[in-house]
Amino acid sequence: QVQVVESGGGLVQPGGSLRLSCTVSGLPFSRTDMNWYRQAPEKERELVAGIDATISGGNPRYVDSVKGRFTISKDNDKKTVYLQMDNLNPEDTAVYYCNARHIRAFREAADYWGQGTQVTVSS
């Protein structure tokens, strides 16, 4: 069975920091791209950050609104991806979802999702 479990959300003041974690089981992590999405109330789910399955660097990428503030990284041995969020703004308030995209073959991928973790930035 495949499990995608994220944690680390909470309530933080503007300018504060949080680190989200997402641990994957039941998938070959070396062939799984990892992404963080978020969804605010009455907003569409958006891709926040992603890191590819390649061991060297993983081609980290970010939506413009979080560049310079968020850092995505991973631990291949622990099969865990992290999202370090610094200098948080109220606009970052959302449910954050971990997405695991298993690259099964060329032009064939399967997506698995965590249940989400709430991040609230408020004074």
pLDDT tens, residue by residue, 17-75? 999 999 999 999 999 999 999 999 999 999 999 999 987 778 999 999 999 999 999 99
CA–CA gap between residue 75 and residue 65 (Å, rounded): 25
Split at pLDDT 50, 70, 90, the class of 106 is: confident
Query: What's residue 43's pLDDT?
Result: 95
| C-alpha closest to that of 94 among 50, 62, 46 | 46
Going from the C-alpha of 85 to that of each of 10, 56, 66, 68, 103, the distances in angstroms are 12, 22, 9, 10, 27
Give the residue ranges of DSSP H helices in 9-97: none
Average pLDDT, stretch 99-106? 93
